[in-house]
Amino acid sequence: MALSYEFSIGSVRAKEKSLLSNSDIEQLVVLKNEEELMRTLKDKGFGDGTTVDAVIADNTEKMWHYINSVAPDSSVFEPFYLKNDIHNLKTTLKGIMTDREFSNMLLSPCTIRPDILKKAVENAKFDLLPEWLSKAAAEAYKILAQSKDARFSDAVIDKAALEKMLCEGKNSKSAFLDEYFRIYVFYSNIKIAIRAARTKTTVDYLKTALCDCEGFDKQKVISCTLTGSENLLKYLSSVHAYDCNKAIERYKQNPTEFEKFVENKLIALARKLCRLTTEGPEPLLGYYIGCEYERQAVHMIRSGIVTRTPPDKIRERLRDLYG
């Protein structure tokens, strides 16, 4: 019998209750070492394993097993795989062109099989790749071969992925995915510009790296970026699209606060358009994003424990949860 969204939504509403709560996070933040963190996560049913990494990996595997078992159409998650696809392509390109082992660095899930990536790069046959990526892959390969400029090469691939995300969101017929990827791409552009202003990059790099998207004046941003961080931040402080002005005020306080603002904006969108929705794929998409933020929190807490960061400082870094 074919799965229905009515069934999957009922299932995921029950499953959401197993996500970590704010009180769970508070309990984790004050733990003293990785051993305690691993045991506590296991006790809460987060995952199984003998290390924190193993527990997180088990959590991820179980999440995908569950999602695939209840989703009527698992292809709705593919736009989120794109980050893994471009990571895998960049890793494969650099691994093959420098004759270094790279297979253990590849990520999943992905939409492009690793053996296809390997064959495309080894034989310079980039038409083996999906149309959205083939031209960018060929250009990135050429850049690495001729100039060994990994930053420029990465920019070409990253932009192709950003454009694909916008396209997938628009074509998805999902208001959530459309808005999610417009915000994601907008702020990806902002981050690129801010980094470029600090490193005094070239106009060619900016034209290559920045992606056209709603609310983003590419030419104005390029002009300001080339004149330095102060002028760029001043301009961005006047941009109201996606609360950019508020995000930049956070950046001026602390770049970490900027990152937190952007990620909290995305999880707030998921809560608004997925948590309360009673039809379609959005509840499943929201659960997936909730799991991603949950694992991100565990990573941050583990990092804080390892570096002996005070609990208050760890709390400051943590993003909002889906629940």
CATH of the domain at 96: 1.20.1690.10
What residue numbers bound the domain in which 90 lies?
77-172
Is residue 278 in a domain?
no
Dihedral sign for Cα atoms in the order 51, 78, 209, 147: positive
Is the residue at 97 inside a domain? yes
Asked whether residue 145 is assigned to any structural domain, the reply reads yes
Paired tokens of 221 = 């941003």
Over the range 74-89, which residues count as b (16 or more CB within 10 Å of their CB) and which as e? bebbebbbbebbbbbb
Residue 4 in 3-state DSSP?
A: coil
Residue 256 tokens, joined: 């970490």
Alpha-carbon distance of 23 to 33, in angstroms, equals 19
- pLDDT in tens for each of the 323 residues of the chain? 467 888 899 999 999 999 999 999 999 999 999 999 999 999 999 999 999 999 999 999 999 999 999 999 889 999 999 999 999 999 999 999 999 999 999 999 999 999 999 999 999 999 999 999 999 999 999 999 999 999 999 999 999 999 999 999 999 989 999 999 999 999 999 999 999 999 989 999 999 999 999 999 999 999 999 999 999 999 999 999 999 999 999 999 999 999 999 999 999 999 999 998 888 999 999 999 999 999 999 999 999 999 999 999 999 999 999 97
- What single-letter amino acid sits at 146? Q
Is residue 293 in some structural domain? no
Residue 49 lies in a domain: no
Q: What is the CA radius of gyration of the chain?
A: 21
Domains in the chain, number: 1
Six token digits for residue 265: 């904006």
CA distance 169 to 172: 5
**Per-residue pLDDT, 4:** 84
pLDDT at 1: 44
Map residue 133 onto helix, strand or coil.
helix
Tens of pLDDT, residue by residue over 75-97, are 999 999 999 999 999 999 999 99
Give the pLDDT of residue 2: 60
pLDDT at 315: 96
C-alpha to C-alpha distance for 5 and 70, rounded to whole angstroms: 8
Residue 125: inside a domain: yes
Asked, for residue 167, whether it belongs to a domain, the answer is yes
212: left (phi over 0), alpha (psi -120 to 50) or beta: beta
User: CB of 73 within 8 A of CB of 28?
Assistant: no
Question: Residue with structure tokens 């970026």?
Answer: 225
Domain presence at residue 160: yes
